[in-house]
Structure 1
């Protein structure tokens, strides 16, 4: 259906930022200027809360308080967690179907329809700001806070739902799939909103998604440890490089922070440094999390989300310092260990695993000094540099060859609610449950389980989840987008 020119600006706003779901509703809006010459009286969404992949119609009713003349600009801006991700302007008279001057006191309405993109994660802090300006400045401004949905529920409602319930586990068992669910202790007592907060990776379709230059991989035998070998049926990077096995297989804990993108990238980088140069140093997800910001890092936002492509770009342009996990704070063994504790996620705390905070941690501030006073090297001298980052195609054999020749890679995919229940038995593939957002992990190998091909992956949810922190996901069908967002770098 063609969209009227008068609604073009609203169409851009809708197309850039909204999710739709369930029912038409007048949505609240706030005035963000001292005057409101447009006299906006109502904003209506055809469905509410907002949900990815659905069509939506947005209508705005207004009655100008003054005549609107040629030269009046209407500008729409979209913000995600106070970061502007989109802007578009039109002249209300010359670039729409409206006939100017628009007379004061006349009732008017504009509407726009659009199918919404699926790539924007279900996070809070999404808003649309619409401004009208003339030669005197801003004459009207409204902003609309958008209520997002995960599946059939609003984001706020997720705080009242369990991350895992008996109906979810039963549905998976009844499906007779390739894996076994259970009530994972990692999410025992957790709400769906708390689980969703761990999904901190921006996937394809997000307005800030970053793609690095595609690496050209020539198919044929892989060069593994100086020998040309065919791609085997089973491969585990821990076995291929036993001197780096402890590093490659180490399961970390991102704690209560959406820092998976920083963990998946820094862990793959340290593995590759070990394979290529014999380094056993742990690299700092904290340095990545706090300082990988701005355009060069795909506008990553710390605990509020980011992307492996931005991190690998950061490793090549700025480098990353050494840094272990929280347990190494105060030991002076690395420059910048992770400041957030490995904790008892929703289970009874112990002396080894203290209770986690009720809310997600705030992103640590970027600092250019080591956080460890006992560490002997200074921050700048401690930086490890990658040569450059790149993306790898979704071709299974190209991904396999890349891992065999250079080591583990970073992978990003959509996590659905059923993934939380993965017990470590079998090969995961999506069965049921709402999408919770994008997640980044470290891919270290592949194999086959009872005839089902899989990827072997290290997660960052500690050893209380999955197969001692690892999982297997079906290989060869781009499950949950797993094969279409692979990132790595040369070291």
Structure 2
């Protein structure tokens, strides 16, 4: 499959073998979480004076900017646990931590898995884990203070509910905003003006008879480089993964999102993937969120 795909001159991306290549369908399904999608309650991230689409650069990467150093931390690995919702949340909040403390702070997904009253390794939601953080005094531990378990599994009880405060003072508080559905121009503006955003995604599934979902799963699992594009991938249903958009750009005339995954550095392009932009590819623009200081 990998060789045949890579010999297809019409494809915009390449595949490779990786640590997931010998996984069973059941193992692949484990890291595709049961996503609880909340109804969108759209609140503008930016007021009208900030919406300057023409002033947004064509390419941006939060890893390589100086406005907020350390906004993106190294790639993490959720292992055999459907905890993408927790990893995506910390990825979306690490820019806020860097903004407040002016230092690199990989935050703890394990705390969210153990303590947030979501479903541990069986999935969760953006709003659920955000509400946990907010109810915990806007606090979340650093990864070094609340490390992941060796297998990524949920622990029997919450080990340490304390952590770093992710609000600055009485003026600015940690809040979230739902971004408008299917509006990738607004998403681009938000990524540049505000920071990385949390997105739900249809990563396909190997089991079952849906050929598009099987194709999307196999290709997503083995992505290596280029711009991921699977025509026909569902955009408003079967959401089973969460990731973080950290940038965007254009390559060979095709617009893309630069996305941080949580499947380790042997997956993708050292843990990252470029996904076709302005096409709502696999639902990436259907339920986006931004969390930060307001």
Deviation of 1:313 after TM superposition, in Å, equals 2.6
How far apart, CA to CA, are the structure 1 residues paired with 2:65 and 2:57? 12
Aligned partners of 1:442, 1:429: CA distance in 2, in Å? 18
Q: Which of 443, 452, 466 matches 2:254?
A: 452
1:438 positional shift: 1.0
What SS class does the counterpart of residue 364 from structure 1 fall into?
coil
> Across the two proteins, how many residue pairs are aligned to each other?
270
Rg (Cα) greater in structure:
1
The higher relative CO (CA closer than 8 Å, separation ≥ 6) is in 2
SS at match of 1:274: helix
CA distance in 2, matches of 1:252, 1:362: 14
Q: Name which of 139, 142, 148 aligns with 1:338.
A: 148
With over 3 angstroms needed to count, the CA separation of the structure-2 counterparts of 1:411 and 1:263, relative to structure 1, is same
Alignment match of 1:423 (pick from 201, 224, 227): 224
Gaps of 5+ in 2: 168-172, 205-216
Q: Distance in 2 between matches of 1:336 and 1:199?
A: 24
Q: Could you say which residue in structure 2 is the equivalent of 1:307?
A: 125
Please state whether the residue corresponding to 2:154 is helix, strand or coil. coil
Q: Secondary structure at the match of 1:271?
A: helix
Deviation of the 1:269 alpha carbon = 0.7
Counterpart Cα distance in 2 of 1:469 and 1:365: 29
Name which of 389, 392, 398 aligns with 2:179. 392
Task: Considering fraction of residues, name the structure with more strand.
Answer: 1
TM-score between both structures, scaled by the size of structure 2: 0.81
Distance between the aligned counterparts of 2:249 and 2:60, measured in 1?
6
RMSD: 2.9
User: Which of the residues 2, 9, 12 maps onto 1:178?
Assistant: 12
**SS of equivalent to 1:489:** strand
Q: Counterparts of 1:193 and 1:419 in 2: how far apart (Å)?
A: 16
Aligned to 2:33: 200
What is the deviation of 1:421? 1.8
The CA deviation at 1:470 is 0.5
Is 2:43 aligned against 1:215?
yes
TM-fit CA distance, 1:443: 0.6
Q: Which residue number in structure 2 is paired with residue 363 of structure 1? A: 154
CA contact (8 A) 1:291 1:366 kept: yes
SS at match of 1:186: coil
**Aligned equivalent of 1:438, options 225, 240, 243:** 240
TM-score (norm 1): 0.50
Q: CA deviation at 1:243?
A: 5.3
Would the alpha carbon gap of residues 459 and 381 (structure 1) be closer, same or farther in structure 2, given more than 3 Å must change?
Answer: closer
- The secondary structure found in structure 1 opposite 2:203 is strand
